Amino acid sequence: MEFRKSIIKEVAMSRVISYVPRLAIFAAGIVAGVLTSSRRERGGISPAAEQDLKRSLADLESRLEAHESANVARFAQVETRLDEHAVKLADVPSTAQIVTAMEQLLSKTMTSLDERLTTQAHSIEALKTTVTQTDSLLERVLESLDSLESYADPAELAGVSLAQRAVV
């Protein structure tokens, strides 16, 4: 809003500046009139001096008009640039929009991280359960092997002693 107010002030200023060359031309005309009337009262002005004065006045007017048109062109360029910059500024997201976008991105990232950590925790629990079951099964297998070995030991001893008797 402040930006628009400054543009409005500059537009008003450009109007004032456009009056300056006109006032200068008007003042030059008054000065020329006063000079010619005072010389006429004294005895007049020579036609050659009058022509020089008219040429000088015409030259001054043309330079002032050229200066005025150059100023108008410059002000038009400045106003065009200001409009372009205003459009560019309107396209730039505000700080609140940037912060909101970052919060959403961070929220999604944290949610994804939480989901992965939860999945890993479930995997670890499943592995613990599997290891416990494997340990239990291995323990039973070892106990079964021990019990089979204890049952097999007396028979083997009897079989070995019969084999030893036959050999002797």
Report the pLDDT averaged over residues 139-168. 68
pLDDT at position 68 over 80: yes
- Are 28 and 76 within one domain? yes
Residues 88 and 17 in one domain: yes
CB 28 within 8 A of CB 57: yes
Domain interval for residue 28: 2-92
Q: Is residue 17 located within the same domain as residue 88?
A: yes
Same domain assignment for residues 15 and 87: yes
Q: Is there a single domain that holds both residue 126 and residue 73?
A: no
* CB atoms inside a 10 Å sphere around CB 71: 15
Contact 28, 60 (CB under 8 A): yes
Q: Quick check: is 101 in a domain?
A: no
Type and span of the H or E element at 89: helix 47-91
pLDDT tier at 12 (50, 70, 90 boundaries)?
low
Extract the tokens encoding 16.
């004032």
Which residues, 6+ apart, have CB-to-CB distance to 165 below 8 Å? none
Overall domain count for the chain: 2
**In this structure, are 32 and 83 located in the same domain?**
yes
158 confidence band (pLDDT: 50, 70, 90): low
Residue 83's pLDDT is what? 92
Query: What is the spatial distance between Cα 128 and Cα 44, in angstroms, rounded to a whole number?
Result: 123
| Cα 35-38-42 angle, rounded to 5 deg | 135
Assigned domain for 139 exists: yes
Q: Do 142 and 74 belong to one domain?
A: no
Mean pLDDT computed over 49-75: 89
